[in-house]
Amino acid sequence: MWRLGLSLLAAMVLLFFGYSTAKTVTYDFNVTWVTANPDGLTERKVIGVNNQWPLPIIEVEKGDQLVVNMHNGLGDKNASIHFHGMYQNGTNEMDGPIMVTQCPIPPGADFVYNFTVNQNGTYWYHCHADYCYPDGYRQALIVHDTESYFYDQYEEEFTVTMSDWYHELVEGIAPDFLSVYNPTGAEPIPQAFLFNDTLNSNIMVKPNTTYLIRLINIGAFVAQYFYIEDHTFTIVEIDGIYTEPTEADTLYLAIAQRYAILLTTKNTTDKNYPIVTVADSALLDGIPSDLKLNQTNWLQYNADADHPQAVMTVDDATQLNPFDDITLIPHDRMPLLPEPDYTLELSVNMENLGNGAGYALLNNISYTAAKVPTIFSVMSSGDLSTNSLVYGEFTHPLVLEHNDVVQVILNNNDGGSHPFHLHGHAFQVIDRAPAYGATFYDYADGDPVPYDEANHTAFPQYPARRDTFVLPPQGYFVIRFVADNPGVWMFHCHIDWHLSQGLGLLFIEAPTQMQERLNIPQNHYDVCKAGGIPTEGNAAANTEDYLDLKGQNKQVGWLPAGFTARGIVALVFSCVSAVVGIIFLVVYGLSDLKFKGEGADGAAETSEVAGKGAGKTTVAEASRESSNEEIK
């Protein structure tokens, strides 16, 4: 009898642990338009989930199976979900970027995201379709870990997001942004900066208590500084990677970056303290007088005490001296990866292409999606899958061999900073110049300084790892990772405007292993069918000859030969934009030009890639200087 009892007990224990270590967490997301007024200035349409906005925070534990049943109830908009920072190891098809790992989910369609969460820490989720997430479709995703090295060091935890906020729908702003009337590619200026999707809020805290605070920049464009008056804290995690506990008082969170910090509250409850977020105004081409760059929310110890406004200690955000993330040491002390098997050197350029609009390029390529989502080209191309030609010229595909150590050198010929994100991996950051703080914007006035292999600072022994890292203005960074996660992974600037200008590329990582391991659910094919998108063939949807790219989507062609870029830029800034449009037309003729409303895909067929190189080198710098002069 007691034997039976024991084995029953053992079975129950097994069951209990079985469930608690690998449970399925299911979210049903009915995605529809709702209205919200988070800044108290304007009520607008936002993308809600189950008729609510802000969206639900997804919360799981390591090892859980996360299932999100998404229904696109928007009626007039395609959508998808990317689970930012999730490696999707073995489930590349659940990664989310449309035309890369799946088809856009058309209005009325259902889609199931289903994957195992094998990580810990602070993440977020957001729509990864064109012009989508800045309309509100983004929120935190937290992987709780009761075994973290700091679990017994805090009593409570909370998550706060920060973001820029526009009053118009992105698709309403986009045509004017990517247009001949905006040749400098000046990004739209947000109307507000939200703190946890609201403003002037109180976070109630108890005295003498340690909190784990998770911070996430879920915005579309602008980085933010974060500090709490008269408090310091301890960084314990960046982008899901635990770090050695490291003291700091000010953080810089670029778009998509996350920090988890431990904060011990004061012993007394006589005062409330401003939690200060300051937008990085260096990213803005102009600062409207009614735009509030810095926000005060409160660490509230006492509801009856004063709630003082932040006292700015500097005139300008660039004088704040944030903690430098490259100095962080991962808690697992993963050593510097060995010398790379494969090195990729890339340059960022902002250029005016043949339609007069400003584009973003990596080694002269402005990312332009293929006609077949790239994952399906991998799966259907058989032995040719290791030939990058299959994936087209303008998706900028780079085929990586399984388990290679990959090094990416990214040089910035542009005067703006760019937070680059790699899907499917966290990478080691091994070099970056210039450093944060006072020198960060120094290069912006001189010539770009590219990485010099023969003359660089010593690489860290235990490099910081994260999945989103800032490329400084006119500087560079160098990262390393192991190609141990077969899949098609985007590497792109997370400023949504820059991605729409083409600032991204695709790693086709271990395509042979993808073919062996991936098992793409029928649901994916159904959604493609509903949207009329093929699921076989090369980038041009050619299923006969995978190396024939005739009919592929192309980026907008280069400016016609003999065209002097400096000339047009001077012209643009001496005239009002409407007049410029007309002069531009008269001077260069209608034939080579395509106008607003047509993205890179649309214009592709008629424009020529040949003829590149004509006077296109200094447009971005020249125009930036001009626009700065205008503001001063």
Ligand X SMILES: *[C@@H]1O[C@H](CO)[C@@H](O)[C@H](O)[C@H]1NC(C)=O
Binding site for ligand X (CB under 6 A): 30, 32, 51, 54, 57, 62, 65, 67, 71, 73, 76-78, 87, 89, 104, 106, 112, 114, 118-120, 145, 147-148, 158, 160, 196-197, 203, 208, 264, 266-267, 278, 292-294, 312, 314-317, 347, 363-364, 425, 455, 484-485, 531, 533, 612-613
Which partner from the list Cu ion, ligand X, none does 189 bind, CB cut-off 5 to 8 Å by kind?
none
Give least dist CB 167 to Cu ion, A. Answer: 22
Give least dist CB 17 to Cu ion, A. Answer: 45
| Residue 304 vs 315, nearer CB to ligand X | 315
| Residue 191 vs 417, nearer CB to Cu ion | 417
Q: Give the relative orientation of helices 619-631 and 565-574 as an angle to the nearest 10 degrees.
A: 20
| Residue 73 vs 190, nearer CB to ligand X | 73
| Residue 66 vs 580, nearer CB to ligand X | 66
| Residue 16 vs 151, nearer CB to ligand X | 151
Which partner from the list Cu ion, ligand X, none does 158 bind, CB cut-off 5 to 8 Å by kind?
ligand X
What b/e sequence results for 552-569 when a residue is b if at least 16 CB atoms lie within 10 Å of its CB, and e otherwise? Answer: bbbbbbbbbeebebeebb
- In single-letter form, the type of residue at position 432 comes to R
Give least dist CB 153 to ligand X, A. Answer: 11
Give least dist CB 1 to ligand X, A. Answer: 37
Which partner from the list ligand X, Cu ion, none does 495 bind, CB cut-off 5 to 8 Å by kind?
Cu ion
Using H for helix, E for strand and C for coil, what is the string for 205-273? CCCCCEEEEEEEECCCCCCEEEEECCCCEEEEEECCEEEEEEEECCEEECCCCEEEEEEECCCCCCCCE
Angle ∠(436,448,557) on CA atoms, nearest 5: 120
**Which residues of this chain interact with Cu ion, rule CB under 5 A?**
418, 493, 495, 498
Closest residue by Cα to residue 158 from 200, 120, 196: 196
| Residue 422 vs 493, nearer CB to Cu ion | 493
| Residue 319 vs 574, nearer CB to ligand X | 319
Token couple for 588: 């260069």
Which partner from the list Cu ion, ligand X, none does 493 bind, CB cut-off 5 to 8 Å by kind?
Cu ion
Token couple for 406: 């990959």
- Residue 624: count of CB within 10 angstroms of its CB: 21
Give least dist CB 115 to ligand X, A. Answer: 8
Which partner from the list ligand X, Cu ion, none does 614 bind, CB cut-off 5 to 8 Å by kind?
none
Closest residue by Cα to residue 123 from 159, 176, 90: 159
Closest residue by Cα to residue 155 from 196, 212, 228: 212
Question: Cα separation of 444 and 427, whole Å?
Answer: 26
Give least dist CB 97 to ligand X, A. Answer: 13
Which partner from the list ligand X, Cu ion, none does 330 bind, CB cut-off 5 to 8 Å by kind?
none
Question: Cα separation of 495 and 134, whole Å?
Answer: 10
Give least dist CB 60 to ligand X, A. Answer: 12
Which partner from the list Cu ion, ligand X, none does 374 bind, CB cut-off 5 to 8 Å by kind?
none
Q: Give the relative orientation of helices 577-588 and 565-574 as an angle to the nearest 10 degrees.
A: 150
| Residue 345 vs 625, nearer CB to ligand X | 345
What b/e sequence results for 421-430 when a residue is b if at least 16 CB atoms lie within 10 Å of its CB, and e otherwise? Answer: bbbbbbbbbb
Give least dist CB 427 to Cu ion, A. Answer: 17
Give least dist CB 160 to ligand X, A. Answer: 5
User: Chain centroid to CA 420: how far?
Assistant: 7
Which partner from the list Cu ion, ligand X, none does 418 bind, CB cut-off 5 to 8 Å by kind?
Cu ion
Token couple for 314: 């500097």
Distances (CA, A) of 56 to 43, 52, 214, 486: 20, 8, 16, 30
| Residue 220 vs 572, nearer CB to Cu ion | 220
